Amino acid sequence: MSKTCVSISDLTECCLKILHSAGVPEQDADLLTDTLLDAEICGIESHGLIRLPAYIRRIRQGLISPVPEITVSERDCALSIDGGDGLGQVVAHRAMQECVAGAKKHGACFAAVRNSNHFGAASYFSRMAAREGCIGFACTAAGPAMAPFGGMEPLLGTDPFAVSFPVRGHVPFTLDIAVSAVAKGKIRIFEREGKCLPRGWALNKYGNDTTDPAAAISGSLLPMAGHKGYGIAMVIEAFCCLLSGARLSCESEGMFDSHGKAGTGHFFGAFDIAHFTDPEQFEWRGGEWFEKIKNSKTRSGVKQILIPGELEESRRNGGPDSLLLSEATYSKILDLNKDGQ
C-alpha cells in the first residue's frame, strides 16, 4: 500500500474542519484531533486517522452525540459516569480528570463508565494520570471480536488496557495492550494493504486457523497467551460492563458494523503516589530499576532493551512535522473535508 507524506499542521486543520462541520465543539475537536494524531505519530495506525470516518458517519447517523450530556455520580472514591453517547475520547478524558481529582483527595479513585463510544488508544488517558503524579489505569470493552479459549464464536472484545506511572530520568512507564493476539484495527490494516496474517492470530467463521484478513474479520481473533488473555478479557468486562451497567461485548456490535448506539463501557483508575509513599522516592527507585533492566545483558541480535512506552515516546520527541499516511486513509480524510464544506 502506497503512502503519502502530509504535514501535521495540514492534517490538524483538516481534522478540525471535519469535526466542526459535524457539530463537535472546539475544545472537544482539539482533544479528538490530538488523540488521533498522537496515535499516528506513535505508530499506532489502528487507532489513528483510520477511525475518523467511522466517528463522523456515526455522528451523522445520530449514534454519537457531538455535544453529550455527561453525568457523574460520586460516592467517595467511586464514580459512576454516563457518557451521554458522546465521543469516547471526550468521555474518557472527563472520566480520568475526575479520577485524578478524586485520587488527590482520597488516595485512589475509580470510574465506571457507560453509554460511551470507542475511545482510541487507552494509553492516552493513563498517561494523563502519570503526568499528575499518579499511577493511571484505563481499559475498555470493545465490540465482539475474540473467541473464548477453546471456542470459535466472537463473544469477547479485544478489551485493551493501559497502565502508566512516572519515573525519574525516564519517560513514563506505559503499557498499552489488547488481550487478543492482535488488535482488530491491525487486521483491517492488513486487509487494506493486501497482506496475509501470521498464523495464530485468528480463526475463520468455521473455527479454522486463517491468514486471510477478511476471513478473520468475519470470524474471530484468538486471545493472547491462550487461556490467560481469555481470562483477562473477562476481568476487564467485569470492570467495564458489569460495574457500569454497559453492554457486554457479546451484547454489542463493532463500531464499523453497528447500526445502533454503541453503549460502550470503560473503567478508569488513578492512585495518588503521595498518599502511599514519598513521590520522589518512588520515582527515584523506579529510575534505578529501569536502569538495571535496560543495562542487563541482551540476547544475540538485540540492540537494546526498551521499557514499555519508551518507543512511542521517542517518536513523539522532536515534534515531527509530517506523517506518512496510507493513500487510502488520506483520501477518505480529504473526502470528509469536502463533504463538510
Give the per-residue pLDDT at 256.
Answer: 67
Give the per-residue pLDDT at 258.
Answer: 66
Give the per-residue pLDDT at 320.
Answer: 81
Cell of 116: 460511551
pLDDT lower than 70: segments of the chain: 1, 256-258, 318, 340-341
Angstrom distance (rounded) from CA 249 to CA 141 = 6
Give the per-residue pLDDT at 1.
Answer: 60
Query: Which domains, from first to last, does the chain contain?
Result: 3-63+314-340 (1.10.1530.10), 71-275 (3.30.1370.60)
Q: Are 162 and 301 in contact (CB under 8 A)?
A: no
Give the per-residue pLDDT at 299.
Answer: 97
Angstrom distance (rounded) from CA 213 to CA 221 = 10
Angstrom distance (rounded) from CA 62 to CA 52 = 15
Give the per-residue pLDDT at 341.
Answer: 58
Cell of 287: 529510575
Give the per-residue pLDDT at 311.
Answer: 95
Angstrom distance (rounded) from CA 91 to CA 230 = 27
Q: Give the percent of the chain with pLDDT over 90.
A: 89
Give the per-residue pLDDT at 239.
Answer: 99
